[in-house]
Amino acid sequence: DGNYYLEPKYLGISSAAFEADGYGLVAMGPDLKKENLTNGLIINFNKGETIRVKVLDDRDNSPLSFVSVNISIGKFLDTNIGTMPTNERGEVLFTHLSGKFILEIDAINYAPYRCEFVAEETKDIIVKLVIGGGLKGQLTLDENTTSANAVLSSKNSYYSVIIAADGKFEFVNIPPGEYKFRADQFQKKNLIKDNGQNLKIKQINIIIENDKITEINVTSPTGFCLLNELYNEDFGKRIVDAMLKI
């Protein structure tokens, strides 16, 4: 392993990534601050690990070729390391990886896949892609609504689509599981007297199943009300792009 010294004057950012030929990429942060690094920063490089990713069809374990596999650095840097297609065996190799990474796979007609892994603790990653489900429906829009988004969320997932002017929306290729549905609406200028303190968000429980489209109709307000211009009578001032739960 080699040690490399970087002067503090170059550290004006909160996070950083360092790489050298033949060594694993090193990610640091998110709290790098120039004033806290008066003695410089020591970066320890190592050779890194070779990770094999194998992508299969969940129904019969057959390999999926020409599927794009992407690896990036964690949530703070969000730096793309590389995107490669799987071969005829459904495999792809990534070399010189060191640290924590995010693996993402997108394939036509399959639900997207995402996971985190630590290179030093991982050798092979076997992914079984499932046929996604869907959700479509109709939202009764308020006459003051200028636009709206439909949202599906779970503990680890978040999906959003634009609701059409006629109130129709559709989600496709969603991983099976339990979700919360809501509709976020942008409305025209409104007068709110209670400062939103007594307003509560309403969500609908949805179960997404493999290769099945679920249909719903939403007739009452749900989600967040995003007012383009909000005037609060109690405080006597305008709040632009304020978010209130309804």
Q: Please tell me which residue, 34 or 191, carries the higher pLDDT value.
A: 34
pLDDT at 219: 75
Whose CA is closest to 177, among 201, 157, 149? Answer: 157
- The pLDDT of residue 32: 54
Integer Cα distance of 210 and 132 in angstroms: 5
What is the predicted pLDDT for the residue at 21?
Answer: 72
Average pLDDT over residues 175-182: 91
Whether the predicted model's global pTM rises above the 0.85 cut? no
Low-confidence winner among 19-23, 58-62, 154-158, 182-186 (lowest mean pLDDT):
19-23
SS3 content of the chain, % helix, strand, coil (to 5): 5, 55, 40
How far apart CA 99 and CA 61 sit, in angstroms, is 29
Predicted local confidence at residue 81, as pLDDT: 77
The candidate with the shortest Cα–Cα distance to 225, out of 188, 198, 194, 193, is 188
Which H helix or E strand runs over 147? strand 145-153
* Cβ contact 163:146 at 8 Å: no
Neighbours of 193 (CB within 10 A): 8
Look at 79 and 134; give whichever has higher pLDDT: 134
> If DSSP codes are grouped into helix, strand and coil, which group holds residue 35?
helix
pLDDT digit string, tens, across residues 193-215 = 444 444 456 788 999 998 899 99
Residues contacting 88, CB < 8 A, separation 6+ = 63, 65
CA-wise closest residue to 152 among 165, 140, 136: 136
* Whether 32 contacts 42, CB under 8 Å: no
Q: pLDDT-based confidence at 1, cuts 50/70/90?
A: very low
Q: What is the pLDDT of residues 17-70, one digit of tens each?
A: 677 777 776 666 555 555 555 566 667 777 778 899 999 999 999 999 999 999
Q: pLDDT-derived band of residue 156, with 50, 70 and 90 as boundaries?
A: confident
DSSP helix/strand/coil, 90:
coil
